[in-house]
Amino acid sequence: MSPSYYHSYICTNVASALKSEGTYSVFTELTLVIEGKDYIPDVSLYPKRAVMLGKRDIVKMTEMPLTAIEIVSPSQTMDDALTKFDIYFRAGVKSCWLVSPVTMTVNVYTDMEHVQIFHAGELIEPVLNIRIPLTAIFE
């Protein structure tokens, strides 16, 4: 699956907005190992941490992020993302976001049964207390 033009653009916007927020460490396309399988969320949020460039790199993470974010692309269905979210939650991820460039919405899941849908104004992430204007994502 190749990320699309919109997918790449929105991924950059999401990562930039979260990095500007300043509370968490933001990673894109970081491989997570869950039950022996590799998963790669588009964006992952971790507690703020130092990154020691010049040291040995970490190729695959076994520590789960606080939040995993998926941006819908033409080759990915909503069901694909929700299947990943179920796996992420069982592995200890606290929240998952599903960002749709086509509908310009962000669905914030705090578990598989609870979702908030944001399509205007400000995204408010209740688990990590993050607030981001949707214009920062969909500008």
What value does the mean pLDDT take over residues 102-124? 96
The phi, psi pair for 137, rounded to 5°, reads: -90, -45
- Asked whether residue 78 is assigned to any structural domain, the reply reads yes
Cα 52-55-57 angle, rounded to 5 deg? 90
Q: What is the mean pLDDT of the chain?
A: 93
Give 129's pLDDT tier (boundaries 50, 70, 90). Answer: very high
What value does the mean pLDDT take over residues 105-122? 96
Could you give the 3-state DSSP secondary structure of residue 115?
strand
User: Residue 118 is part of which domain span?
Assistant: 5-48+55-129
Per-residue pLDDT at 73: 86
- Asked whether residue 17 is assigned to any structural domain, the reply reads yes
- Asked whether residue 136 is assigned to any structural domain, the reply reads no
- Asked whether residue 134 is assigned to any structural domain, the reply reads no
How many CB atoms sit inside 10 A of residue 88's CB? 25
pTM: 0.94
- Asked whether residue 13 is assigned to any structural domain, the reply reads yes
Helix (H) or strand (E) holding 29: none
Helix (H) or strand (E) holding 33: strand 32-34
Give 121's pLDDT tier (boundaries 50, 70, 90). Answer: very high
Per-residue pLDDT at 58: 86
Cα 91-92-93 angle, rounded to 5 deg? 105
Q: d(Cα 87, Cα 35) in Å, to the nearest integer?
A: 9
- Asked whether residue 137 is assigned to any structural domain, the reply reads no
How many CB atoms sit inside 10 A of residue 98's CB? 22
Residues above pLDDT 90, as percent of the chain: 80
Cα within 13 Å of Cα(119), Cβ side = 4
Domain CATH number, residue 71: 3.90.1570.10
Considering only CA atoms, give the Rg of the chain.
14
Total count of domains within the chain: 1
